[in-house]
């Protein structure tokens, strides 16, 4: 973020031999903050929440830059989609030359942390609550494969539009990490790299 400049015209050093008086410039550099990130008059907060909080609501107390405590409240039944931003109007930074009467918005981006595993009871409960189906359509002549976590090797991989996507072959099961051909045919355990 570029520093803000305050100019006082004609207030610089004066010299008897010069008719032009210089200006005084004061540069304000923005100090990084642990919680807020400034974008113009907007303040942006990136915050991690649990899947339970995303689906069931939560309260998040925030100490604002001016010392006020504001309580961000997502009501029960109001689900948080991590692809969207949430706004608190007029809680951002003051706009220039308004004396603080015009303020930007406070914007929240919530990153939802998903559990890595579920117990059988949790799966059953979620399936019932979300009315999810456990009957998947049968595919004739199809080979059944399972997804698993992708752990990249330290070596560079082949580039291309499908970089990071591999099909692991049966003979690769005992070796560490996926080997095989990018988007190759056949095999067990399709592995996808997270972006």
Say what the pLDDT of residue 155 is: 57
Write the DSSP assignment of 65-131 as a string of letters: TTS-EEEEEE-TT-PPPTTSEEEETT-SPBPTTTTTSSB--EEEEEEEEPPS---HHHHHHHHHHTT
Say what the pLDDT of residue 3 is: 60
Question: Judging by DSSP bridges, how do beta strands 106-113 and 42-50 pair with one another?
Answer: parallel
Say what the pLDDT of residue 177 is: 40
According to DSSP, residue 6 is labeled: E
The per-residue pLDDT for range 132-150, each reduced to its tens digit, is 887 877 778 878 888 888 8
According to DSSP, residue 148 is labeled: B
The per-residue pLDDT for range 175-187, each reduced to its tens digit, is 444 333 333 334 4
The per-residue pLDDT for range 69-84, each reduced to its tens digit, is 999 999 998 999 999 9
Tally of residues, the chain: 195
Residues with pLDDT less than 70, the chain: 1-3, 155-195
The tokens 């080997």 sit on which residue? 179
Say what the pLDDT of residue 78 is: 92
């Amino acid at each position: 973020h570029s520093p803000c400049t305050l100019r006082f015209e004609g207030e610089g050093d004066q010299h008897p031999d010069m008719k032009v008086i210089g200006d005084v410039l004061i540069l304000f550099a923005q100090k990084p903050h642990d919680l807020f990130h400034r974008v113009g008059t907007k303040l942006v907060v990136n915050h991690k929440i649990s899947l339970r909080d995303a689906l069931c609501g939560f309260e998040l107390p925030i100490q604002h830059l001016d010392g006020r405590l504001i309580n961000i409240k997502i009501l029960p039944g109001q689900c948080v989609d991590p692809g969207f931003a949430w706004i608190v109007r007029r809680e951002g930074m003051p706009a220039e030359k308004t004396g603080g009467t015009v303020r930007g918005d406070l914007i929240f981006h919530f990153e939802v942390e998903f559990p890595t595993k579920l117990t059988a009871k949790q799966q059953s409960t979620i399936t019932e609550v979300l009315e999810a189906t456990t009957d998947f359509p049968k595919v004739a002549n199809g080979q059944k494969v399972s997804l698993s976590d992708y752990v990249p090797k330290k070596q560079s991989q082949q580039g291309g539009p499908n970089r990071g996507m591999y099909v692991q072959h049966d003979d690769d099961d005992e070796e560490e990490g996926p080997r095989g051909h990018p988007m190759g045919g056949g095999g067990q355990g399709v592995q996808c790299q997270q972006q």
